[in-house]
Amino acid sequence: MATLSSLGIGSGLETAAMLDALKYSEQQRLVPYTNMKASYEAKISAWGMISSSLDTLNKSVKPLQGDAFNTLSVSSNKSFSAKATPNASADTHNVKVEQLATSHKLKSEPVANATDAQGSKTENNSRTMVITQKNGSEMKVELKDDETSLDQIAKAINKQDGDVRASVQRADDGYQLVLSSKDTGTDGEMSVRVEGDDKLNGFLHVENGGRHVDEKGKPVAGDKGANDKMISVADAQDAKLRVDGSDYTRSSNNINDILPDITLELKAVSEDTETLTLTKDISEYKTSIKSFVDSYNALMTQTNSASKFVPNDSAGLGNNEVQRPNPENGALMGDSMLRSMVNEIRYAVNGVYGDSGAEYSSLADIGIKIDPKTGIMTLDETKLDASIAANPDDVANIFKGEQGLAKKLNGIIVNYAGDSESKIDGSIKGTTDSLNEQVDLVKIQIEKTQKLIDAQVDRYRVQFQNLDKTMASLNSTANQMGALLSSLNSK
C-alpha cells in the first residue's frame, strides 16, 4: 500500500489539527525560558540607558569642579590677542608690541628656466648643499649632476621635511629659488653653502643673512650681507614687546611665558600701549548649572521609568487563575543597586556645601527645587541670576572644590558607571556582565528544550501516520466485506 503523505487522509480523522494542538502545547515549555531571557535583556537595556545618562551627567558635572567658575572674559586688542587658561587671574596688564617675530626668507638671482642646471659637472657626480640655522639646525642635501636645476634643488630640500622649505617662483625677469625658514626669530636665520661644486656655491652661497637691495634692486649701503649671493626677502628677527613696564624679546609671536596662564598672540606693531583686561565671566556659571540640571533630570526620568511599579489588575480572573506581573512595570523594579544609586545621588544634591555661614550653601538657596517624590529639579532662573550677581563666589563654592557637590557626584558616578580614561569598571558593568552570562545560559537551555520539543512532535507525527495507515487498512477491509455481503444478498 502507498505511504500516506498527509495526516488524516487515510483515517479521516483531524490528526493534522491534533498534531498542531500538541505542538503548541509542547512549545509552552519554552515560555518560562523566553520570559526569563526577555527579562534579562530588558534589564541590560535599562542599565545601558542609565549608564549613558550617568556619563552625560558626569560631563556636565566636571566643569562645575572649577573650570566653569574660572572662565575669564578677555579684552579685544588691536596689536595682539590673548587666551587665558582656567587658572589665570582676573587682572589688567599694559602691553606694547614693538616688533613682530619674522622668519628668514632668501631668494636666488633669477634664471631663464627652472629646469636648467645651475651647477657644474663633477668627477664623482655629487655635491652637498648645506643649510645651517643659528639655532644649530643643519640640513645636508645631496645633489647629483642632473639635480642642480631650481626645480630639482627645491624638490630635494622639501623631501627631507626639515626646518627649511623651498619653492620656485616665477617673476617678470625669470625663475627664482626661494628658501623659507619654518622657525621665526633670529635663531632661524639661514646660511647656505655648497660643497663640491664651486659654480653652484657661487650661485647660492649665504653667510651673513643674505644680500639686501632696495625697491629698485640697488644694493643697500653698509649691508653686512653685500657679498652673499642670495637676496634677503625677509630678515630673521625676534618679537619685542613691553609688558607692565618690562621689556621682553622672544623668537615667536605666540608667547606664553610672560603672563602666568596667558598666551599672547602678537599681530601687529602697537601704535600706543594697549590695556589687556581679564574679567571673570559669570555668564558661564548659569550655562554650566543649567546643563547640570538638565542632565540630572534626564537621569532621574530614566531611573524613575526603570524602577516604576504598577499594581496588578486582578479583575476578571477566575478562581484557578494566577495574577501575572503588570507589563507596565519598569525593567529594574525592586533592583537594590538602582535604589542605592538613586538614594546616594539624591542625598548628595540635597546636601549643604561651601563655607560655614555662607549666604548660599545649597541648591535650594540659588533657585533649584527638588521634588521629594520624583527627584526632578525645577530651576528658577530669576533666582539663580540674582544669586550669581549677588555673590558668585558662594554659588561657585556649592559645586567646586574637594568637598563640593560636583566632586561628590563625580565619585558616585564613577563608582557605578566607571571611568574609561582611568580604566575603572563601575558596578553597572559587573551587573550587566552577569546578566549577559545569564542570557547565554538561557539561550542554551532554550536550544536544548527546543530539540526535545521537536523530537516529541516528530514522535507524535509518526504515531499519527501509523494511525492513518492502520485506519486506512481497516477501512479498506470493511469496504471489501461490505461489497462481498452485498453480492451474497443479491443472490
Write out the DSSP string of 259-284. STTEEEEE-S--SS-EEEEEEE-THH
- pLDDT tens digits, 118-138: 999 999 999 999 999 999 999
- Does the pLDDT at position 233 exceed 90? yes
What pLDDT is recorded for position 319? 60
- pLDDT tens digits, 476-491: 777 777 777 777 776 5
- What average pLDDT is seen over the chain? 90
- Does the pLDDT at position 15 exceed 80? no
- Which pTM was predicted? 0.65
- Percent of the chain scored above 70 by pLDDT? 94
- pLDDT tens digits, 150-184: 999 999 999 999 999 999 999 999 999 999 999 99
- pLDDT tens digits, 371-406: 999 999 999 999 999 999 999 999 999 999 889 999
Q: Where are the beta strands (DSSP E) in 134-267?
A: 138-143, 164-171, 174-184, 190-195, 231-234, 239-243, 246-250, 254-255, 262-266
Name the residue type at position 53.
S
C-alpha to C-alpha distance for 96 and 245, rounded to whole angstroms: 9
Q: What angle do CA 42, 43, 47 make, to 5 degrees?
A: 120
- Contact by Cβ (8 Å): 150, 168: yes
Name the residue type at position 67.
D
- Does the pLDDT at position 291 exceed 90? yes
What pLDDT is recorded for position 484? 72
Residue 344's H or E segment, with its range, is: helix 336-349
What pLDDT is recorded for position 5? 47
Residue 476, CB-side half-sphere exposure with 13 Å CA sphere: 9
- Does the pLDDT at position 4 exceed 60? no
- pLDDT tens digits, 397-450: 999 988 999 999 999 999 999 988 878 889 999 999 999 999 999 899 988 888
- Percent of the chain scored above 90 by pLDDT? 69
Report, as an integer, the average pLDDT of 329-338. 90
C-alpha to C-alpha distance for 259 and 92, rounded to whole angstroms: 11
Domain 103-234 fold: Alpha-Beta Plaits (3.30.70)
What pLDDT is recorded for position 320? 58
Report, as an integer, the average pLDDT of 4-33. 70
- pLDDT tens digits, 53-98: 999 999 999 999 988 888 889 999 999 999 998 889 899 999 999 9
Report, as an integer, the average pLDDT of 357-368. 94
What pLDDT is recorded for position 156? 97
C-alpha to C-alpha distance for 362 and 358, rounded to whole angstroms: 10
Name the residue type at position 100.
L
Phi, psi at residue 287, to the nearest 5°?
-60, -45
Lowest-pLDDT choice from 13-17, 22-26, 193-197: 13-17
Residue 204's H or E segment, with its range, is: helix 198-204
- Does the pLDDT at position 7 exceed 60? no
- Does the pLDDT at position 143 exceed 70? yes
- Contact by Cβ (8 Å): 279, 72: yes
- pLDDT tens digits, 88-122: 989 999 999 999 999 999 999 999 999 999 999 99
C-alpha to C-alpha distance for 243 and 241, rounded to whole angstroms: 6
Put the strands of the sheet holding 164-171 in their side by side order.
164-171, 174-184, 103-107, 231-234
- Contact by Cβ (8 Å): 295, 287: no
Distances (CA, A) of 446 to 30, 34, 79, 258, 276: 7, 7, 75, 71, 73
What pLDDT is recorded for position 196? 96
Phi, psi at residue 226, to the nearest 5°?
-60, -30
